[in-house]
Amino acid sequence: MLRWLIGGGREPQGLAEKAALQTIGEDQGQNPYTELLVLKAHRDIVRFLVQLDGYRFASAGDDGIIVVWNAQTGEKLLELRGHTQKITAVITFLPLDSCEASSQLLLTASADRTVVWDCDTGRQIQRVTCFQSTVKCLAVLQRLDVWLSGGSDLGVWSRKLDLLCKTSHLSDTGISALVEIPGNCVAAAVGRELIIFRLVTPTEELLEWDIIEVKRLLDHQDNILSLANINDTSFVTGSHVGELIIWDALDWTVQACERTFWSPTPQLDAQQEIKLCQKQNDIPVNHFACDEENVFAAVGRGLYVYNLQLKRVIACQKTAHDSNILHIDKLPNRQLISCSEDGAVRMWEVREKQQLAAEPVPTGFFNMWGFGRVNKQANQPVKKQEENVTTCSLELIGDLIGHSSSVEMFLYFEDHGLVTCSADHLIILWKNGERESGLRSLKLFQKLEENGDLYPEST
């Protein structure tokens, strides 16, 4: 297994954390990423990666530069310059299916302006400079063929970059995240509030677009950091103090709510508790990944798998990294990837295990991990339970060490590998070593065959 360091390795945050962190040796049989390409073009922190198509991606960060890359070869295709300050949001705007002549657009935002680019040519189509504050997030409503800008207000824009409508001033802190929900609605995170807006499209009676505030949801106790769609009927939010709330996307009611990520385990004495337990202000919910069965949450330094049907955590690694986890994603074959401020990218596998139900289990989200108080009715008769209760574990199967600073995010490119970006100004393209070796052998075979050297004539 390749283990290659740029400028030194990771330093543990303390003896307690070092002891609790799960490690893996050199033999990483399930980790295919044994080759890498280091891509250099940025002069500051690279915070964003966005996939353009099956073989291209764009990177952007604090130097204000956007670079388009070939994910297969690592070749730099385009370098886009139009910002004077750090980039705060990036998103793609796909062409309409009915308009083949329309190009895919790339939208980039910063404190100076929002710029719209042609992904194919790198041409700067237009600059939008009429914002009252920094645009912190962008969203595309493909069905309505509009895009949204979130700052101190919420703006709705056409593909032709016309401002269709906008809200009044919402907050000095601004909108931190946006997600589309059914009914021409969007959910916007503004501080600890979740605000539901409805877009009103033009009709014969109403000739102009409008955006209406429908509801304000105040269920979070602290600022909302993460917001993601689960499916067509639900979405999830996470806050700075470890709150996870699953919402009904149709009527905006709470489907499930958990606020106990920071709960200490009762087995620890007071001295150990101070050293090992994550405190409430140390467990921000930084990112989500979802599939049809589970929500995967990056909570502080830990990873949690929350099952939607059971409405409880079925697997966790409370100390999956040395520092806060910034980005996670679900891969095929029940695998998960995480990256962190500690500079590491780690691969995990969700494995099922059978546990005999020997005694009644107290109710509650984290009681399966020994957290929280025992239910008062725990000693009373309960209904007969199933013979076996299925739970899962998160097992470390790979540790990709190549960056010397915080890894901000990554992209999974299937056959082309994995792309990571970092505060060390670098982008690393991780390759499947076995696949790359096979491709090189195939190319050599084809070249020998073309030159007639594969089957030399006998003399």
Q: What is the pLDDT of residues 84-138, one digit of tens each?
A: 899 999 999 987 654 555 678 999 999 888 888 998 899 988 888 777 778 899 9
- Quote the pTM value: 0.82
Confidence of residue 68 (pLDDT cuts 50, 70, 90): very high
Smallest Cα–Cα separation from 242: which of 223, 256, 265? 223
Q: Which amino acid is at 104?
A: Q
Query: Which one has a higher pLDDT value, 308 or 11?
Result: 308
- Strand positions, DSSP E, 291-361: 294-299, 302-307, 312-317, 325-331, 335-340, 344-356
Per-residue pLDDT tens digits for 364-399: 444 444 444 444 444 444 444 444 455 899 999 999
> What is the model's pLDDT at position 252?
97
pLDDT reading at 272 higher than 50? no
**φ and ψ at 343, to 5 degrees?**
90, 5
Task: For residues 102 and 303, give the distance between their C-alpha atoms in angstroms, rounded to a whole number.
Answer: 41
Smallest Cα–Cα separation from 136: which of 73, 79, 91, 193? 91
Joined tokens for residue 20: 């609790």
Sign of CA dihedral 156, 158, 163, 165: negative
pLDDT reading at 42 higher than 90? yes
226: β partners: 238
Per the CB < 8 A criterion, the answer to whether 150 and 188 are in contact is yes
Confidence of residue 455 (pLDDT cuts 50, 70, 90): low
Number of helices (H), then strands (E), in the chain: 3, 32
> If 0-12 CB within 10 Å is exposed, 13-18 middle and 19+ buried, where does residue 151 land?
buried
Instruction: Give the mean pLDDT of the chain.
Output: 82
> What is the model's pLDDT at position 41?
96
Joined tokens for residue 311: 């409405």
Q: Which amino acid is at 78?
A: L
> What is the model's pLDDT at position 384?
42
> What is the model's pLDDT at position 161?
85
> What is the model's pLDDT at position 355?
59
Confidence of residue 196 (pLDDT cuts 50, 70, 90): very high
> What is the model's pLDDT at position 280?
54
pLDDT reading at 289 higher than 60? yes
Ordered alpha helix ranges (H), 21-103: none
Confidence of residue 448 (pLDDT cuts 50, 70, 90): confident
> What is the model's pLDDT at position 364?
46
First to last CA, the chain: 45
Smallest Cα–Cα separation from 246: which of 200, 286, 301, 295? 295
> What is the model's pLDDT at position 276?
36
pLDDT reading at 15 higher than 90? no
Per-residue pLDDT tens digits for 394-428: 999 999 999 999 999 999 998 889 999 999 999 99
> What is the model's pLDDT at position 373?
42
Per-residue pLDDT tens digits for 139-178: 999 999 999 999 999 999 998 888 999 998 888 888 999 9
Residue 103 DSSP symbol? P
> What is the model's pLDDT at position 95?
76
Pairing of strands 244-248, 418-422: unpaired
Cβ neighbours, 10 Å, residue 390? 12
Average pLDDT of the residues in 295-309: 95
